[in-house]
């Protein structure tokens, strides 16, 4: 119980760091009309390395954290991240999930999937669909570049945070318990 709580808190702190970095980066990129988002990074480690219950708690709370600062229904990003977590967690047993490369590639796929889902659901609501689609494409490209560059650091940060909290993720087994 306490072990799970410590894992959740440690990973939430890491998510807070990434959200703060992204906030500052987007502040700097605003004059260029570009936005970076990396939902995949917030999901990948929890889905690949943690048990279902703990990982879902981390991802859901992270989604609520993001929702609090966004003008979307509270809980929407939490639900989307939760869904991405479930798919990735199920795929984890067929993957060498301790590899950094696998974590980064998983994050890239989650980014892509969430961009596509949001585009399909919401693009029609934008008053100027062609420029909205162009903007989303540009945002996706810079987000994927950011995820590729920052992914290894962030996965290592999460691993180090769990080690520091004295609750390292289960190792060895192909599938989380």
The two tokens of residue 153 are: 């650091």
Q: In the complex with other proteins, which residue's Cβ is closer, 166 or 177?
A: 177
CB of 174 to other proteins, least distance (A): 13
Q: Is the dihedral of CA 86, 93, 37, 23 positive or negative?
A: positive
Per-position b or e across 94-125, b if 16+ CB within 10 A of its CB: eeebeeeebbbbbbbbbbebbbeebbeeeeee
- Cβ proximity to other proteins: between 127 and 172 the closer is 127
Identify which of residues 19 and 105 has a Cβ nearer to other proteins in the complex: 19
Termini Cα distance of the chain: 15
- Please state the closest distance from residue 128 (CB atom) to other proteins, in A: 4
Q: How far is the CB of 61 from other proteins (least distance, A)?
A: 9
Rounded to the nearest whole angstrom, what is the least distance from the CB of residue 81 to other proteins in the complex?
Answer: 10
The nearest distance, CB 23 to other proteins, in angstroms, is: 6
Contacts of 110 by beta carbon, 8 Å cutoff, 6+ apart: 39, 40, 43, 44, 84, 88
75 vs 152, beta carbon nearer other proteins? 75
CB nearer to other proteins: give 16 or 96. 16
User: Residues in the site for other proteins, rule: CB under 8 A?
Assistant: 16, 19-20, 23-24, 26-27, 30-35, 37, 52-53, 56, 60, 64-65, 67-72, 74-75, 78-79, 82-83, 85-86, 89-90, 118, 122, 125-128, 131-132, 134-136, 138-139
In residues, how long is the chain?
177
- What does the alpha-carbon distance between residue 60 and residue 71 come to, in Å, rounded to a whole number? 18
Q: Are the C-beta atoms of 162 and 169 separated by less than 8 Å?
A: yes
Nearest 5°: the CA angle 20, 22, 27 is: 95
């Amino acid at each position: 119980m306490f072990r799970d709580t410590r894992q959740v808190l440690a990973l939430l702190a890491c998510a807070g760091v990434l959200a703060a970095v992204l906030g500052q980066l987007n502040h700097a990129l605003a004059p260029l009309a570009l936005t970076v988002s990396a939902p995949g990074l917030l999901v990948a480690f929890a889905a690949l390395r943690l048990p279902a219950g703990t990982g879902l708690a981390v991802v859901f709370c992270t989604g609520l954290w993001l929702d609090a600062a966004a003008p979307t229904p509270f809980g929407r990003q939490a639900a989307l991240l939760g869904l991405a977590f479930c798919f990735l967690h199920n795929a984890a047993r067929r993957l060498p999930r301790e590899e950094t490369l696998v974590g980064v590639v998983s994050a890239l796929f989650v980014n892509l999937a969430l961009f596509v889902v949001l585009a399909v659901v919401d693009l029609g609501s934008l008053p100027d669909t062609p420029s909205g689609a162009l903007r989303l494409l540009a945002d996706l490209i810079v987000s994927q570049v950011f995820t590729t560059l920052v992914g290894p650091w962030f996965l290592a940060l999460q691993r180090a945070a769990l080690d520091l909290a004295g609750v390292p993720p289960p190792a060895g087994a192909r599938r989380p318990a």
